[in-house]
Amino acid sequence: MESTQQQPPKTQSRFFRSPVRAISFLLHRWLGLTVGILLSIAGLTGSILVFWHEIDHWVLTQQFGAVIPTGVIMSIAAVVDLVKGAYGDKNWRLTTVVPPQSSHEPYQAWLETPAHHHWQVLINPYARQIMGDREWETSWVGLIYELHYKLLAGETGTLIMGIVALLTLILSLTGVVLWPGWRNLKAGFKIKWQNAHIKRINFDLHKVSGIITAIFLGLIGFTGFAWNVPQAKVTEAIYAVTFTPQPADPVSQPISGQQPLPIADLLQRADAAVPNAVVTYISLPAKPESPFLVGKRQAQERSEWGNTRLAIDQFSGSVIRLADGLKPTRAEAIINQFDPVHFGTFGGTFTRVLYVFVGLSPLALLITGFVMWKYQRRVPKPDHS
């Protein structure tokens, strides 16, 4: 006689009934409910930071005026002299100079106070005048950045957000495992609106928004963890698994009785090493043994700021290290993608707009996930009729 025992559907593979899904479900639920608020804060602030350069350019123009191209732009060395002359009596250290990347932008000079606060100085490159300054930590973008990066809580907040970033990666992976589209691809992307209970609509919104943003949230989480928790030695691990020798930190060799070379000379050495490239920043040495750092963008590089970096001995002028953005090592090729995948710049304006919505998704996933949890906690009332 033929057995009448009901057989499970063919689509129910062992994987979907395995402990992997059970563990993934528990991790996904409780991690989402536990860190969802912090992840939502990071996502909302991240959505704003996607276009912070454009927003801040407008804010600074309203505050300090516009840059009108007239004449020849001043040199980086002249900017350094101007800023040091204006702020030399404050015991602030000039750390970085960022040249304008368009004709309507000012130079930016960054100074650090003894209390480790940072001041941004804007210089009109044509008028050769300081337009104004602001403390970064108290500016609108500085506050959002500090909230995004460290919860306005210093080093402790940096570590907390680094852990949240790692948990974001785990949430993304477990969400992919739990996605019902593995059973039925069409059902995985379907949202049933008509004649559907709110519970069903909520679940569909969660699964669809989750699978669409999972890969981006996972990459953002991984890169955020690598930056916020250097103790994890993610960079070192990348060098190891790609069998790439990790170079030693570049060091200048002080020469007795000799002052560091003028900045103009050091920049000439950088131009000789990598000609026909745009300087995107310089970083001034903090100590006698520190190198002079120059960032450049070669014409063929897609990154806005370039990935070509030079470390120059500030006394001899020799190039200690050169990272060629067009010929990166295996490890550098991976690490160079951290910025684009974290900030969404890898696909131009389209991916940046996409990342605005990716940043909003953690809040949507938290709300829909919480609703799912509340529905599952409800115990049906006994029927006394």
How confident is the chain (385 residues) per 10-residue block, as mean pLDDT?
A: 42 62 92 95 98 96 96 96 95 97 96 96 97 97 97 96 97 95 90 89 95 97 97 96 96 95 97 96 97 97 93 97 97 97 95 97 96 75 48
pLDDT, residue 16, reads: 54
Residue that is last in its domain, among 113, 143, 173: 143
With respect to residue 6, please indicate whether it lies within any of the assigned structural domains: no
Instruction: Report residue 354 as tokens.
Output: 């996409």
Residue that is last in its domain, among 99, 127, 143: 143
**122 strand-pairing partners:** 108, 132
Instruction: Report residue 13 as tokens.
Output: 């593979």
Q: Does an H or E element contain 283, and which?
A: strand 277-283
If asked whether residues 168 and 283 sit together in one domain, one would say no
Instruction: Report residue 357 as tokens.
Output: 């919505």
**Domain span holding position 193:** 15-50+151-240+347-377
Instruction: Tell me how far apart the alpha carbons of residues 269 and 312 are, in angstroms, rounded to a whole number.
Output: 8
If asked whether residues 229 and 250 sit together in one domain, one would say no
Cβ count near 63 (within 10 Å)? 12
CA distances from 28 to 24, 135, 211 (A): 6, 40, 13
Instruction: Tell me how far apart the alpha carbons of residues 54 and 104 are, in angstroms, rounded to a whole number.
Output: 12
- CA angle at residue 119 from 113 to 125, to 5 degrees? 130
With respect to residue 342, please indicate whether it lies within any of the assigned structural domains: no
Nearest to 73 by CA among 123, 109, 110, 122: 123
If asked whether residues 225 and 250 sit together in one domain, one would say no
Q: What is the CATH number of the domain that holds 261?
A: 3.10.450
Q: How far does CA 82 lie from the centroid of its chain? A: 32
**109 strand-pairing partners:** 97, 121
If asked whether residues 202 and 121 sit together in one domain, one would say no
pLDDT, residue 196, reads: 87
Q: What is the CATH number of the domain that holds 85?
A: 3.30.505
Q: Are 231 and 189 in contact (CB under 8 A)?
A: no
pLDDT, residue 19, reads: 86
With respect to residue 307, please indicate whether it lies within any of the assigned structural domains: yes
If asked whether residues 109 and 157 sit together in one domain, one would say no
pLDDT, residue 1, reads: 39
With respect to residue 200, please indicate whether it lies within any of the assigned structural domains: yes
Place of tokens 């059973």: 183
pLDDT, residue 304, reads: 85
Instruction: Tell me how far apart the alpha carbons of residues 28 and 173 are, in angstroms, rounded to a whole number.
Output: 9
In this prediction the pTM is 0.88
Backbone angles phi, psi at 254, to 5 degrees: -55, 140
Nearest to 179 by CA among 209, 219, 200: 209
Nearest to 294 by CA among 277, 307, 281: 281
Q: Are 356 and 213 in contact (CB under 8 A)?
A: no
Place of tokens 């991984």: 222
Q: Are 166 and 226 in contact (CB under 8 A)?
A: no
Instruction: Tell me how far apart the alpha carbons of residues 180 and 188 are, in angstroms, rounded to a whole number.
Output: 5
pLDDT, residue 332, reads: 97
If asked whether residues 230 and 265 sit together in one domain, one would say no
If asked whether residues 127 and 268 sit together in one domain, one would say no
Q: Does an H or E element contain 130, and which?
A: strand 129-135
Grouping H, G, I as helix, E, B as strand and the rest as coil, residue 312 is strand
If asked whether residues 155 and 233 sit together in one domain, one would say yes
Instruction: Tell me how far apart the alpha carbons of residues 205 and 90 are, in angstroms, rounded to a whole number.
Output: 55
- Mean residue pLDDT across the chain: 92
With respect to residue 35, please indicate whether it lies within any of the assigned structural domains: yes
With respect to residue 213, please indicate whether it lies within any of the assigned structural domains: yes
With respect to residue 225, please indicate whether it lies within any of the assigned structural domains: yes
CA distances from 108 to 96, 120, 260 (A): 8, 7, 23
Q: How far does CA 291 lie from the centroid of its chain? A: 25
If asked whether residues 34 and 105 sit together in one domain, one would say no
If asked whether residues 213 and 259 sit together in one domain, one would say no
Instruction: Tell me how far apart the alpha carbons of residues 297 and 280 are, in angstroms, rounded to a whole number.
Output: 7
Instruction: Report residue 146 as tokens.
Output: 């500090």
If asked whether residues 43 and 168 sit together in one domain, one would say yes
If asked whether residues 187 and 319 sit together in one domain, one would say no
Q: What is the CA radius of gyration of the chain?
A: 26
Amino acid code (one letter) for 79: V
- Give tens-digit pLDDT for 6-48: 444 444 455 556 788 899 999 999 999 999 999 999 999 999 9
Instruction: Tell me how far apart the alpha carbons of residues 365 and 356 are, in angstroms, rounded to a whole number.
Output: 15
- Give tens-digit pLDDT for 138-168: 999 999 999 999 999 999 999 999 999 999 9
Instruction: Tell me how far apart the alpha carbons of residues 253 and 240 are, in angstroms, rounded to a whole number.
Output: 29
With respect to residue 216, please indicate whether it lies within any of the assigned structural domains: yes
Q: Are 333 and 291 in contact (CB under 8 A)?
A: no
pLDDT, residue 59, reads: 97
Q: How many domains does the chain have?
A: 3
Cα separation of the two ends of the chain: 42
